[in-house]
Amino acid sequence: MTRIRNFTNLSGISLLYVEDDLETREELQSILGLYVDNLYIAKNGKEGLFLYKKYKPGIVVTDIQMPEMNGLSMAADIKSINPEQQIVVLSAYNDVEYLFRALELEIQHYITKPISVERLLNKLAEITELMNLAKEVAKNRKLLEQYKLLVDEKAIVVKINLNGNIVYVNQHFCELSGYSEDELLGQYYLFSFDGVDQQDILQDLKKSVLENKKWKGLLKKRTKAGAVYIVDTTVVAMVDTDNQIEEFVALMVDMTEVYEKFERLALSLKQDLSEQKHYLHEYEHALEVGTSLCIIDTDGKIISANRNFSATLDYSANELIGQSLCDLVQDCEDFNNRVLKKVSDQGFSSRVIKVLGKGGLPRTLSTVIVGIRNQYGEIHSLMSLSHDISDAVKLNESIIENQKDLIYVLGEVVENRSQETGLHIKRVALISELLALKYGLSEEYATMIKIASPLHDVGKIGIPDNILHKRERLSDAEFKIMKKHAELGFQLLNKLDKPLIKMAATIAHEHHEKYNGSGYPSGLVGEHIAIEARIVSLVDVFDALSSRRIYKEPWTDHEIIEYLKKNRGTHFDPELVDLFLENLDEILYIRDSLKEH
């Protein structure tokens, strides 16, 4: 008995109907038109092939015997274009030759005339169901591939069989452990754990993952070279349809650097026991923070959030669903312009963002946002993987704030010694910060460049007055002495093991290097010159040319621009010159608002 199907699903398909008999064609066209929205009609194979190439319909229904080109010849040409094309052959001939030719073309649908409309509609509904199912399978497969790629790109991944032996590792784990893939495959997963103090943890891991299908915690392991590293680990049991465990997957996040930073902090703090316990508690808290996952649609609405993400913002998952992620981001315009646009253009974006949690709670997240595409290459949704770095940012800001006082004191010494105005140093600092942001550096790094840049000429403290303040052109011997200020500045600052001072030392040492290698003191080339030094070098020359000096009058803006263009790729980083000129209006505004009077 023929199954009576629901024909409503036919409205969403496109169908090409090819028939040379006018009466049959018009009758079937009027019936199909009631069910199919996009219906294309042809009276022979040649015309049908033309319409197929133009419209690419989902289903083709064709007669066999037709003038100019018969239905099977047309079907052969269509199959050469799309081997998966669904074709229904209609014929009044029960000729075995036609049947075998249709089978050779892998045509699976064959209906004899006179045509039963009900049978044809059932056949079309059946094909549509199969097509929709295939699309859904392809869509899910594509999404799963991208989810796997995203996890593999972000996390350290290991697969373990039921005997506890490693059967798969990604490149991140090889790099972290120091072992090659061949050395790891077949090894017992627990082979490189450090110390006996972890035995209870490992026993809990084995028990929990077998009983609860999941375990999460911190593990201490050793590399091939013997170094210790710390991983925040989630082990999940993968089960079959009968809920029987087939294998285990371990996802790890390298926490070694965080561990070492807090360990150094704990060692360096000379505080009483209660304060040390406080910092140890903070350290443990930071290590417990895992990856936060949030999925948003193409309109920026949150459609899914895991427990870590919602807990970070002090919301429940249900409270977040439906909210716009942009509404949570403090600088929404920048988020749209920089992040979402980059995801659309390049497929992903990685940056630090500031968000407001429930009740206005500010949080800082290190975030990777990846566009998840469907089988047609269109962005289906956006997946955000985040780590809450708020505590680390606050700590770093505190450290930087303590170093700023030292830099300001040294900056004043440099100003007085070289007789340059404080406004020159402020202009260089602010324009350097702007250019760093335009280059794509993080706000934190750009701020560090702004604070450190005033010390670029600190080495001039050691240059004799008769050379430093000479109005005439320096002799070769005098210029040789003047060039020593780069090395002197580096030697002065590099003695202090502080991030900001270290950056200031690098700027002082390299801000006279040139992109083509003709600078001093080391003759560094291209990107071997630190980015902070390349930025300050360009901005310092620009402001020096803009300003009056004891030995020269200020240049015009036109002269300066031509000079920068002429030295693009020789003296200066060409990409920085391009960014500088693209944002010239903002740069001139900073300079003109801080002019000497």
CA 427 to chain centre: 33
Percent of the chain with pLDDT over 90: 23
Identify the pLDDT of residue 322: 87
Q: Which amino acid is at 150?
A: L
Q: Which tokens in the block code for residue 72?
A: 């099977």
Q: What is the DSSP letter of 359?
A: G
The span from the CA of 232 to the CA of 288, in Å, is 7
| β-bridge pairing 228-239 and 214-222 | antiparallel
Give the pLDDT confidence score for residue 143 in this predicted structure: 64
What pLDDT does 158 receive? 85
Residue 569, pLDDT > 60, answer yes
- Tell which wins on pLDDT, 410 or 215: 215
Distance CA 482, CA 478 (A): 6
User: What's the pLDDT at 548?
Assistant: 79
C-alpha count within 13 angstroms, C-beta hemisphere, residue 312: 29
pLDDT at residue 147 is higher than 60? no
Q: How confident is the model at residue 541 (pLDDT cuts 50, 70, 90)?
A: very high
User: Where is pLDDT greater, at 275 or 252?
Assistant: 252
**What is 438-484 written as a DSSP string?**
HHT--HHHHHHHHHHGGGTTGGGGGS-HHHHT-SSPPPHHHHHHHTH
| Residue 389: pLDDT over 90 | no
Q: Judge whether 579 and 439 are in contact, CB under 8 Å.
A: yes
577 and 538 in contact (C-beta within 8 Å)?
yes
Dihedral of CA atoms 321, 325, 326, 331 in degrees, nearest 10, equals 140
Mean pLDDT value of segment 56-65? 91
List alpha helices for 269-419, DSSP H: 273-288, 307-312, 317-320, 325-328, 332-334, 341-346, 390-418
Q: Is the pLDDT of residue 267 over 80?
A: no
Residues 6 or more apart whose CB falls under 8 angstroms from that of 282 comprise 262, 391
b/e map of 220-239 (b: 16 or more CB within 10 Å)? bbbbeeeeebbbbbbbebee
Structure-model confidence comparison of residues 528 and 197, the more confident one: 528
CA distance 435 to 437: 5
Separation of CA 436 from chain center: 19
Report the distance separating Cα 81 and Cα 288, nearest Å. 55
The angle at the Cα of 116, spanning 110 to 119, to the nearest 5 degrees, equals: 65
368 phi and psi angles, rounded to 5 deg = -115, 120
**Average of per-residue pLDDT across 103-110:** 79
The per-residue pLDDT for 4 is: 41
Query: Distance from first CA to last CA of the chain, Å, rounded?
Result: 98
Contact predicate 78/49, CB 8 Å = yes
User: What's the pLDDT score for residue 531?
Assistant: 94
Compare 473 and 484 and report the one with higher pLDDT. 484
